[in-house]
Structure 1
Amino acid sequence: MERITINLDKKPSERWNLLKDYKHETNSLLKYYLEDLSSAGIFETYIETYKTLFISKQYQEEIECVAKNSHFSENQVLITNLYYDALKFVFGCTSFCITNQTEKLHARNLDWWSENNILGSFTKVFDFKENDEIKYSLVSWPGFIGALSGVKPGKFSITLNAVLSNESPQFAIPITFLIRDVLENAETFDEAIKILSETTIASDCLLMVVGVNLDENVVIERTPTTFSIRKPEGNSLIVTNEYLSLTENKNTNDTLQLTASGRHKRVEVLVKANTPKSTDDYFDILSDNQVKMGITVQQMVFNPKNGDIHLKV
């Protein structure tokens, strides 16, 4: 998988100039996002106010840089970066971690429908470097500056799964930007958990966070304003697309839950039958025909201890 370096020592307004070498992919992805979002209407009316209130100056400048290297305006690029909060119902996702191993691995399927597998085909690993050292890495796409899946070597890894609650969305920071903030700025597992739990966010989500120490494994179940922290059961921690702790917030009409419970139970069965130890073992579970979905576009295994990323698309 191609790896692209983002130099954090550069000004935010210059960091994404490298996209000039990925114009076809960037423009194709932005066009795809915008077409999907055309019927959603979310954020469009108030995009200027939203940008001023909830998008940091750093990210505004990065968005400006992406726009400069694409065929789209700054506001169009920003709107596409709010994709999760606007259309999270098209996401699936399954993540799990075995918690009683000295060196823990964090496995994840990203399930996201797209035409012609455009999201799988254009997937890259972005290494965000400071002083020539990798500070954190994201599995992402050209033109998207937030984070759905990332790892901070020696600290923790984070993955985002979609879920729907009965709480209304909030005018607040998008979760994908908050995840990147945490990867960039949080120095400990506990600090990451506190920020991801207590910050008001735009929409619901489930976050798996895996640290390097034995007891550093949680799923944070979020609505925009509330949270619950779920810890491992037995020797595993599994998350799909349903609330297991914040059940009072559960949306009973949630289409994401149609396969969520089945995928969760299947991972549980597979883990109990043959506890995975190697990266290949984790991929075997991710690829099981009752776990992997027809819309799976990325499969990945993170090692939070050393920052290694194993990726299949």
Structure 2
Amino acid sequence: MERIKINLDLAPSERWKNLKKFKEQINSLYKYYLEDLSDTGIFETYIETYKTNFITSSYRDEIKSIEEFCDFTENQILITNLYYDALKFVFGCTAFCVTNAKERLHARNLDWWTENNILGKYTKIFDFEENGKTVYSLVGWPGFVGALSGVKKGAFSITLNAVLSNESPQFAIPITFLIRDVLEKAKTFSQAVKILSETTIASDCLLMVVGANDNENVVIERTPTTFSIRKPLDNSLIVTNEYLSLTDNKLTQDTLQLTAFGRHIRVKQLLDKETPKATQDYFNILSDSKVKMDITVQQMVLNPKSGEIHLKI
């Protein structure tokens, strides 16, 4: 898997210029996103106000620098980076964490439908560096500056799953930008959990956060303004696409829930049968026919202690 270095010591306007060679991939991804978002006119109507109030100047500069070598405008690039908040109902996702005899690993399927599997084909690992050392790493795509899956060596890993509540969306920071903020700035697992729990965000989500130390693994169930923290049961922690703690907020029979319960139960069955010992054991669970979906585009195992990312697409 191709790894790309992003130098945080550079000005934000300079960090992504090494992506010029991926112009064709970036244009393909943006074109797809914008076609999918064609019916969400609210983003175009309010994008200037939203950008000013909720997108930091650093991210705006990063996005503007990408504009220089692709075929889309700054606002179009920002809108595509808000894809999760606009169309999260097309996401699936299954994630789990279990402590084996040696370590605690964080396994995750990213389920996201796209034509011609472009999200799978264009997946990259981005290593964000300061002073020549990797601070954190993301699994993502060229032109996407936020984060859905990432790890900070010796501290924690974070993955995002979609969910739907009965609470209205908020004009607030997009969760994918907040996740990157946390990976960049939070020093500890507890700091990460606090920020991810208490910050008002644009839309609903489920966040699995796994730390490098004992007893550091939770699922944060979020609506834009509320949260609940779910802890492991019988040494395992599983998240798909439904609220198990914030039950007063969940919608019933939504698209995401159609397979969520079945995937959760299947992962629990497999973990109860045998605790995974090696990385491949985790991938075997992620690839089980009742866990992996037809729209799975990434499978990964994150190690928050070592910062390693094992990835299959």
User: TM-score, normalising length from structure 1?
Assistant: 0.99
**Segment drifting more, 97-106 vs 284-293:** 97-106
TM superposition shift of 1:52: 0.3
Q: Is 2:239 aligned against 1:242?
A: no
Q: Is 2:175 aligned against 1:175?
A: yes
Q: Is 2:294 aligned against 1:294?
A: yes
Secondary structure of the 2:44 match is coil
Contact persistence 2:218–2:230 (CA under 8 A): yes
Contact persistence 1:100–1:214 (CA under 8 A): no
Deviations 1:231-265 (A, max 9, x none): 00001000000000000001114110000000000
Q: Is 2:8 aligned against 1:2?
A: no
> How far apart in 2 are the matches of 1:204 and 1:66?
28
Contact persistence 1:99–1:232 (CA under 8 A): no
Deviations 1:178-209 (A, max 9, x none): 00000000000000000000000000000000
Secondary structure of the 2:66 match is helix
TM superposition shift of 1:40: 2.2
AA matched with 2:219: V
TM superposition shift of 1:42: 3.6
Deviations 1:85-143 (A, max 9, x none): 00000000000000364421100000000000000000000000000000000000000
> How far apart in 1 are the matches of 2:248 and 2:131?
46
Secondary structure of the 2:129 match is strand
**Measured at CA, do residues 232 and 101 of structure 1 come closer, stay the same or move farther in structure 2, by a change above 3 Å?**
farther
> How far apart in 1 are the matches of 2:312 and 2:68?
31
Contact persistence 1:164–1:251 (CA under 8 A): yes
Alignment of 1:154-233 (within 5 A): 154-233=154-233
> How far apart in 2 are the matches of 1:253 and 1:45?
31
TM superposition shift of 1:71: 0.6
AA matched with 2:237: L
Percent identity at matched positions? 75
Alignment of 1:18-97 (within 5 A): 18-97=18-97
AA matched with 1:29: L
Alignment of 1:104-119 (within 5 A): 104-119=104-119
The aligned length equals: 313
**Residue 306 of structure 1 aligns with which residue?**
306
TM superposition shift of 1:68: 1.1
Runs of 4+ residues over 2 Å off in structure 1: 99-102
TM superposition shift of 1:67: 1.1
Secondary structure of the 1:247 match is coil
Structure 1 stretches of 5 or more lacking a match?
A: none
Contact persistence 1:16–1:65 (CA under 8 A): yes
> How far apart in 2 are the matches of 1:273 and 1:42?
48
TM superposition shift of 1:285: 0.1
Secondary structure of the 1:157 match is strand
AA matched with 2:121: S
AA matched with 1:266: R
Contact persistence 2:100–2:275 (CA under 8 A): no
Contact persistence 2:279–2:301 (CA under 8 A): yes
> How far apart in 2 are the matches of 1:136 and 1:267?
28
Secondary structure of the 2:244 match is coil
> How far apart in 2 are the matches of 1:204 and 1:254?
13
Q: Is 2:149 aligned against 1:149?
A: yes
> How far apart in 2 are the matches of 1:194 and 1:159?
15
